[in-house]
Structure 1
Amino acid sequence: MKELIRTNDMVLISYLEHRLREEAIEPLTLDGHMSVLEGSLGVLQRRIMVAEDDYDRARGVLDGVKQERDRQA
């Protein structure tokens, strides 16, 4: 597994997971339970991991999601 992104932006996490699954890439989100334990202060970031074989395609999906977000801002 390889880390794709580390963030505490729940909207980004949810949308990115959705987009990755549309591309047949199964993400693994880590540290979600730790974020709950710390009281949802946003201090601990969650990590989205993907299989090393899927990393390059996943990086392309992430770049596309970031571009979409920037256009909407």
Structure 2
Amino acid sequence: MFELVRTNDPVVISFVQSLLRDAGIACFVADQNMSILEGSLGILPKRILIDEEDRQAAHQLLEDAGIEHEMRSSDRDND
């Protein structure tokens, strides 16, 4: 699995999930239940994970949507 996005913004999480789903790219949102440990403060970010083989398509999708700044910074530099 490859970490595409890491954020604690629920709107970004939902939007990226929707984009990926509509494009037929499977994703998994990790750390969703960590809010229990942090007292539901939203401090700990959630991660959107995708298969490595979908990496390029997902990058293009986020760029086309104008949210490429939400991708992990180390990964943006590798494109």
Q: TM-score, normalised by structure 2?
A: 0.76
Determine whether 1:66 maps to 2:29. Answer: no
Q: How does 1:26-65 map to 2 (within 5 A)?
A: 26-63=26-63, 64-65=65-66
Identity of matched residues, %: 43
| Runs of at least 5 residues in structure 1 that lack an aligned partner in the other structure | 68-73
Question: Partners in 2 of 1:65 and 1:19 — Cα distance?
Answer: 12
Aligned residue number for residue 20 of structure 1: 20
Give the root-mean-square deviation of aligned CA atoms: 1.4
Secondary structure of 1:59's counterpart equals: helix
1:65 deviation in Å?
4.5
Q: TM-score, normalised by structure 1?
A: 0.82
In terms of fraction of residues, the more helix-rich structure is 1
Question: Partners in 2 of 1:57 and 1:39 — Cα distance?
Answer: 36
Question: Partners in 1 of 2:15 and 2:33 — Cα distance?
Answer: 19
